[in-house]
Structure 1
Amino acid sequence: MSPTVDHYRIVPELTVPDYASDTLKGIVSATRKAIQANVDNLGAGTPARAPKFVKLLRDNKLIDDKNQSIATTNHNETVSALRDIEASMDANDEGVDSSTYGTYSVAGDTYDDIERAVNQLQGTINDAMKAPGPSVDPTGKQYWPESVEGPLRTACATAAATVEQRMRDAATDIQRHADHINNSAPDNPISSGYGGTTAPLTTPWSGHSYVPPADASTIDKIKGFAANELGVTEIGTNHVNRPYNIDDAWCASFATWVWKQSGIDVDWSNKNYVPSVWSDAAGKGLADSDMSSARPGDMVVFGGQHHIGVVVARNGNTITTIEGNSGDAVRQHTYNLASGNFTGVIHPPAKTPANV
């Protein structure tokens, strides 16, 4: 590894005895360089750019398509291929922008998994040094026979493949995190983006809990729980001192909380993420893209699935909604169904037991 390259975190060294073959030494060295390059890309928040070391080993016929070691027959060609691979690892690592290290919050957890894979590989090498240990040729020179080095080459490929899979997982997690930021953070419905008007926040939240009357219907409960939250405002960024606080974009958390308080506890895959709620609702037969069917008690999903609220009234061709995280508060809005920007509505289930 070039000493001029800064690293996100240093991958533990991998050591083999002097009597190991040049091929095994080269594969172990290249394995560590590949893992270090993966770690640096992880720290820069770009795991998808990490090198695909296992593919390079396959392309150079050092392992097969099942990551099993292939006995080397041409020493010079193998050594040359390993030098090319190591050069590729160095070039990849030097191309990482170290100024961006640490930009992704879960990188540390992923690194811990990678470090375990490296330590396990070193443990496998150490075990081979103990038993059966080296063989000795007629001249007294120690060496590892193919019966030992073959499995060790496979162990290197397995460790590299484990790291590459963990990097793919990290790339997926980063994309999911980005999608959550981009897709669930609501726009402000006061703007013309959704085609609605808003009632001003004239008074702060009352601070009182809502207790529905004994004879209240489910729809009345939805309207009551939602209206009781009017005036709740953020303290800081995306934080509200209410049960639906998630310290993140909270419009979906608010809407699903209102339903749950009213006796509708749908098993959403992610109750805090608008696209997940809409997708799950579609799968359960609750989603309806025909806005003419909107009625009190429904959830309303806005265009682009960026925002969600609760319908509390229907008057002709207009609906009134109460929405969390609207202008950093719980606010009431009115929309014309013909001119509003909507994805659709989610109707409460016909039957509303504790779990639907």
Structure 2
Amino acid sequence: MSPTVDHYRIIPSLTVPGYASDTLKGIVNATHAAVQANVDRLGAGTPSRAPKFVKLLQDKNLIDDKNQSIATTNHNETVAALRDIEASMEENDEGVDSSTYGTYSVAGDAYDDIEKAVKQLQGAIDDAAKAPGPSTDRITGNQYWPESVEGPLRTACASAAATVEQRMRDAATDIQRHADHINYYAPENPTSGYYGGTTRALTTAWSGHSYVPPADASTIEKIKGFAENELGVAEIGTNHVNRPYNIDDAWCASFATWVWKQSGINVDWSNKNYVPSVWSDAVGKGWADSSMANARPGDLVVFAGQNHIGVVVARNGNSITTIEGNSGDAVRQHTYDISSGRFTGVVHPPAGSKTAVAV
């Protein structure tokens, strides 16, 4: 790493035996540089500017889309590419303003997990040095690791980097939401006027009754029933509701996920309380639809900016009716024109989903 950088936390060094190939040494060095740059961006509170090391490896055809190492015959070109990637990691790290390093509990927790991932990677390298150990060239007598050893180690580097980047995304969510008092990523208790819709008056408090769907109810009917049953639930204090979806924080995504779960759709979002995570996961699973023309009852609707989410309970021509948690401090019903351009899109329920769906 560049000596000009004042690091937030020092990442333990990664070492390989001298007989390792230049390609393996290159990816190990680049991985270390990437992890250090990510950690420093985390400490500075600018995780969105952290380098995307895994994507660079994919762009250079060094790993596939599943982060598996791709064998190469052009070692000189590969080593040069890795040196370029390492340099770009260090350049990103040099742009960190160390004066902004803050004491974030979530950053500290993330660092512990990142350090663990680095130690596990070093452990994999050390284990390979012990067994099977190096091979010996019969002609030159030089020691080396065959591709059967180095390939998995290159994959281990990519996997460690992917783990770090995912942990960064999770920590970034918490840091930004709390540092900005939730206002930037999840506006506090948005009302229908914020998005140009109309609201059914909140004339009565929540009934307090539990909804029990009929035995023959469809998934869509259950979604509508569970959502409608929560109408009138209101906050007590700030962002607190005496319901199972309470998280003592902005709770629109938690509410929407809870409605789906009660209806038999138990999706393990990477962060069920954060709308961008829900949308990103849905995109990855093929459930997201950016065309509001395809909105239908049972969908989750994601608003523009991915800062709010609701449950679609009805569709009438170009209008949808939604029920949203954390809307004006309560669970409220709204109606919107789908052509207003105020939406990111909808998330369709996965077909036939009755149990937890891993994301």
Are 2:23 and 2:79, in contact at CA under 8 Å, matched by a contact in 1?
A: yes
Question: What is the one-letter code of the residue matched to 1:168?
Answer: R
Deviations 1:319-348 (A, max 9, x none): xxxxxxxxxxxxxxxxxxxxxxx948769x
Is the counterpart of residue 267 in structure 1 residue 244 in structure 2?
A: yes
Are 1:134 and 1:143, in contact at CA under 8 Å, matched by a contact in 2?
A: yes
Residue 254 of structure 1 is matched in structure 2 by 237
Are 2:63 and 2:69, in contact at CA under 8 Å, matched by a contact in 1?
A: yes
Matched residues in 2 for 1:110 and 1:180: separation?
A: 20
Q: Where do residues 122-271 of structure 1 align in structure 2 (5 Å cutoff)?
A: 122-137=122-137, 138-178=139-179, 180-182=181-183, 183-184=187-188, 252-254=235-237, 265-271=242-248
Are 2:176 and 2:182, in contact at CA under 8 Å, matched by a contact in 1?
A: no
Matched residues in 2 for 1:281 and 1:29: separation?
A: 44
TM superposition shift of 1:79? 1.3
Secondary structure of the 2:237 match is: helix
Residue 64 of structure 1 is matched in structure 2 by 64
Cα distance change of structure 1 residues 168 and 87 upon mapping to structure 2, 3 Å threshold: same
Are 1:271 and 1:277, in contact at CA under 8 Å, matched by a contact in 2?
A: no
Residue 327 of structure 1 is matched in structure 2 by none
Deviations 1:188-240 (A, max 9, x none): xxxxxxxxxxxxxxxxxxxxxxxxxxxxxxx9xxxxxxxxxxxxxxxxxxxxx
Aligned-pair identity (%): 71
Aligned length: 223
Residue 94 of structure 1 is matched in structure 2 by 94
State TM-score, norm by structure 1.
Answer: 0.56
TM superposition shift of 1:139? 1.4
Question: For structure 1, which runs of at least 5 residues remain unmatched after alignment?
Answer: 186-218, 220-250, 260-264, 285-341, 348-356
TM superposition shift of 1:175? 3.3
Matched residues in 1 for 2:54 and 2:28: separation?
A: 13
Secondary structure of the 1:83 match is: helix
Secondary structure of the 1:106 match is: helix
Of structures 1 and 2, the larger Rg is shown by 1
Question: What is the one-letter code of the residue matched to 1:85?
Answer: I
Cα distance change of structure 1 residues 30 and 253 upon mapping to structure 2, 3 Å threshold: same
TM superposition shift of 1:252? 4.4
Question: What is the one-letter code of the residue matched to 1:176?
Answer: R
Residue 32 of structure 2 is matched in structure 1 by 32
Matched residues in 1 for 2:130 and 2:116: separation?
A: 21
Matched residues in 1 for 2:45 and 2:17: separation?
A: 35
TM superposition shift of 1:86? 0.9
Question: For structure 2, which runs of at least 5 residues remain unmatched after alignment?
Answer: 190-204, 206-233, 263-326, 333-359
Matched residues in 2 for 1:158 and 1:271: separation?
A: 34
Residue 106 of structure 1 is matched in structure 2 by 106
Matched residues in 1 for 2:121 and 2:129: separation?
A: 13
Matched residues in 1 for 2:243 and 2:132: separation?
A: 59
Deviations 1:94-148 (A, max 9, x none): 0011101125331100000000000000000000000000000021100000000
Question: What is the one-letter code of the residue matched to 1:267?
Answer: P
Residue 355 of structure 2 is matched in structure 1 by none
